[in-house]
């Protein structure tokens, strides 16, 4: 066997010296630098007497500032579940088969009307209207509904209900503007009632929106209309979204569609917001106790799939004139959160920074993992002292290489060993 070594041994010395440098970094620093921040949940609650704008101004920057001091990754607060119906699912667009069914019912109703079989005609028209309403109001369904109202109005005239007939005629006209019954096909009493209906203002759908508790703000397609109880006009025949909001309660939302002349009462029962219930539990404890809040915090934690949960509350400081913040931390599943303390915040823009700095310090003191500024700020290969050691190692390697070259007599400075 023959082995050879060259002056490149100096490079090998350098590599052997520099390679272990990555292991010279303390194990704790490497673990901290490479560890993924733990997922955590931050629940924020502001007392009802604090304006929403002020609470947002103080609370919104807090998670980001706290995350700079505590090694966590905040996850969003999980929603309690959707309220709104999908418009496409609630009111699908009718297919050809559905349109043929609706048209067939109207045709059969007309045949019964010609034979003066009014009751059977009325039944078929009601079925046709119900099915047409189950689909989205479009250019394909609205003409059918206009025709249904026209024929229902004729049946009302036959029953001697002229006023009801005029209302139905006006609804038909609102869906099909410009239409006029053909004098060759309709009797004079129908034409007379139609002219009277045409002189009426076009009807609109009107909804009475009520809620429990009352006083909820009403939005129709994003436009604020007022507070419950209130009569609201949707303003169009297509699907509209109605949303109710009340401080301390979950928003309620629904999608519906209404025809001109429709009148309906919409009743909403608002359920208490989980964060508001949590704030009430913490307030009932006099600030230093959180009796009964454990199961509710467990509910938040389970929904967010986290173990660590922090709670910060904000209320007005009656004594100092500013704000008072309190903090809690989840100790273990099933138990009430631990009270971490309280602090008085100055009024003004500095309150947000003050509450974040104070909250971060309280969480770290309670066992939350801190961000290690000096060890985690840069990886090992960006540390100045690491490269200082590399330079020193390079100098030593160069010195060793120089010494080896001066003592050798062979031109290629090789050493051979024979076995």
CATH number of 38-75+274-374: 3.40.50
Residue 353: which pLDDT band, with cuts at 50, 70 and 90? Answer: confident
pLDDT of res. 344: 87
Residue 354: which pLDDT band, with cuts at 50, 70 and 90? Answer: confident
CA 281/CA 286 separation, integer angstroms: 9
- Name the strands in the sheet holding 230-232, side by side, starting at the edge strand that comes first in the sequence: 230-232, 206-212, 263-269
Domain spanning 92-198: CATH 1.20.1290.10: no
**Within the chain, what is the greatest distance between any pair of CA atoms?**
132
Tell me: pLDDT of 383 over 60. no
Mean pLDDT to the nearest integer, 186-192: 94
Strands (E), 47-142: 72-74
Mean pLDDT to the nearest integer, 234-240: 87
pLDDT of res. 89: 66
Per DSSP, 249 falls in state B
pLDDT digits (tens, 9 = 90+) for 249-285: 888 888 899 999 999 999 988 876 666 667 666 665 5
Length in residues, the chain? 419
Tell me: pLDDT of 12 over 70. no
Outline which parts of the chain fall under CATH 2.60.40.1120: 204-269
Tell me: pLDDT of 119 over 90. yes
Top pLDDT among 308 and 34 is at 308
CA 237/CA 416 separation, integer angstroms: 98
Tell me: pLDDT of 382 over 60. no
9-18, 162-171, 176-185, 257-266, range with the lowest pLDDT: 9-18
Top pLDDT among 413 and 221 is at 221
For the ranges 14-23, 300-309, 388-397, the one whose mean pLDDT is highest: 300-309
Angstrom CA distances, 406 to 8, 410, 416, stand at 15, 11, 19
Rounded to 5°, angle at Cα 152 from 148 and 155: 145
Instruction: Encode 272-310: b = buried (16+ Cβ within 10 Å), e = exposed.
Output: ebbbbbbbbbbbebeeeebeebbebbbebbeebebebbb
Mean pLDDT to the nearest integer, 339-347: 83
pLDDT of res. 4: 44
Per DSSP, 171 falls in state H
Tell me if 67 sits within 8 A of 74, measured CB to CB. yes
Tell me if 345 sits within 8 A of 316, measured CB to CB. no
User: Bridge-partner residues for 316, per DSSP?
Assistant: 323
241-245, 284-288, 328-332, range with the lowest pLDDT: 284-288
Residue 29: which pLDDT band, with cuts at 50, 70 and 90? Answer: very low
Tell me: pLDDT of 23 over 90. no
Residue 136: which pLDDT band, with cuts at 50, 70 and 90? Answer: very high
CA 337/CA 132 separation, integer angstroms: 55
Tell me if 244 sits within 8 A of 268, measured CB to CB. yes
Residue 14: which pLDDT band, with cuts at 50, 70 and 90? Answer: very low
* Average pLDDT across the chain, whole number: 79
Tell me: pLDDT of 413 over 50. no
Share of the chain above pLDDT 90, in %: 40
Tell me: pLDDT of 364 over 80. yes
137-146, 187-196, 206-215, 244-253, range with the lowest pLDDT: 244-253
pLDDT of res. 131: 96
Residues 148-153: contacts with CB within 8 Å, 24+ apart? Answer: 148/106, 149/175, 150/181, 151/106, 151/109, 151/110, 151/113, 151/121, 151/125, 152/122, 152/125, 153/190, 153/193, 153/197
For the ranges 15-19, 364-368, 383-387, the one whose mean pLDDT is highest: 364-368
CATH number of 204-269: 2.60.40.1120
CA 143/CA 150 separation, integer angstroms: 11
Tell me: pLDDT of 9 over 50. no
Share of the chain above pLDDT 70, in %: 72
For the ranges 191-200, 244-253, 324-333, the one whose mean pLDDT is highest: 191-200
pLDDT of res. 44: 85
Outline which parts of the chain fall under CATH 3.40.50: 38-75+274-374
Outline which parts of the chain fall under CATH 1.25.40.10: 92-198
**3-class secondary structure, 86:** coil
- Of 80, 1, 138, 411, the C-alpha closest to 273 is 80
């Amino acid at each position: 066997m023959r082995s050879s070594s060259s002056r490149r041994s100096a490079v090998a010395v350098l590599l052997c010296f520099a390679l272990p440098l990555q292991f010279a970094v303390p194990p704790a620093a490497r673990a901290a630098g490479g560890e993924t921040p733990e997922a955590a949940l931050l629940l924020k609650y502001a007392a009802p007497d604090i304006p929403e704008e002020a609470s947002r101004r103080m609370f919104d920057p807090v998670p980001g500032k706290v995350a700079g001091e505590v090694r966590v990754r905040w996850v969003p607060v999980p929603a309690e579940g959707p309220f709104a119906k999908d418009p496409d699912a609630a009111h699908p667009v009718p297919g050809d088969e559905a349109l043929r069914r609706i048209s067939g019912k109207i045709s059969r109703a007309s045949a019964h009307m010609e034979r003066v079989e009014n009751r059977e005609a009325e039944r078929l028209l009601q079925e046709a209207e119900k099915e047409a309403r189950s689909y989205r109001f479009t250019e394909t369904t609205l003409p059918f509904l206009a025709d249904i109202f026209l024929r229902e109005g004729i049946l009302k005239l036959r029953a001697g209900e002229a006023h009801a007939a005029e209302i139905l005629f006006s609804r038909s006209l609102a869906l099909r503007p410009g239409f006029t019954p053909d004098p060759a096909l309709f009797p004079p009493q129908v034409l007379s009632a139609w002219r009277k209906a045409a002189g009426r203002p076009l009807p609109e759908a009107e909804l009475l929106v009520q809620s429990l508790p009352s006083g909820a703000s009403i939005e129709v397609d994003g436009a604020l209309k007022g507070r419950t109880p209130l009569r609201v006009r949707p303003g169009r025949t297509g699907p509209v979204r109605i949303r109710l909001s009340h401080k301390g309660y979950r928003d309620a939302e629904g999608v519906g569609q209404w025809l001109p002349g429709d009148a309906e009462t919409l009743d909403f029962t608002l359920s208490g917001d989980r964060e508001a219930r949590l704030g009430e539990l913490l307030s009932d404890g006099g600030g230093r106790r959180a009796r009964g809040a454990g199961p509710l915090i467990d509910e938040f934690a389970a929904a967010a799939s986290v173990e660590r949960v922090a709670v910060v509350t904000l209320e007005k400081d009656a004594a100092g004139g500013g704000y008072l913040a309190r903090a809690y931390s989840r100790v273990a599943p099933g138990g009430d959160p631990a009270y971490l303390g309280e602090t008085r915040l100055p009024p003004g823009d500095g309150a947000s920074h003050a509450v974040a700095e104070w909250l971060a310090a309280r969480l770290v003191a309670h066992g939350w993992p801190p961000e290690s500024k000096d060890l985690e700020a840069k990886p090992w290969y960006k540390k100045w002292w690491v490269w200082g050691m590399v330079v020193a190692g390079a100098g030593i390697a160069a010195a060793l290489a120089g010494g080896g070259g001066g003592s050798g007599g062979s031109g290629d400075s090789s050493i051979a060993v024979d076995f």
